Amino acid sequence: MKANEIRAMSTEEVNKQLQAAYQQLFDLHMKAHTRQLVNHREIPRLKKQIAAMHTILKERSLQTAPQQESTA
């Protein structure tokens, strides 16, 4: 998932995708430890995707923070 696709989602959708990604990361780790994981490059790819989601959520919170301070 690219950053533009994540930015197009609402915050609730991003949070749902983030929870799903963490669950998928857990599953991948379990498969890796039991030697059932076929493509080991999925783990770093998913970690980067999680980091992108966190970055975009942080951007959104910083964009709304100055607006809240100016109205207060």
Residue 65 pLDDT: 79
Fold category of 3-71 in CATH: Helix Hairpins (1.10.287)
Residues 30, 57, 8: CA angle, nearest 5 degrees: 100
DSSP secondary structure letter of residue 38: S
For residue 18, pLDDT over 70 is answered with: yes
Q: Which residues contact 49 (CB under 8 A, 6 or more apart)?
A: 1, 21
Span 22-54, pLDDT tens digits = 999 999 999 999 999 999 999 999 999 999 999
- The three-class DSSP label of residue 9 is coil
Question: Which pTM was predicted?
Answer: 0.85
Helix (H) or strand (E) segment spanning residue 39: none
* CA 19 – CA 37 distance, rounded (Å): 21
Confidence of residue 72 (pLDDT cuts 50, 70, 90): low
Q: Note the pLDDT of residue 27.
A: 97
Give percent above pLDDT 70 in the chain.
96
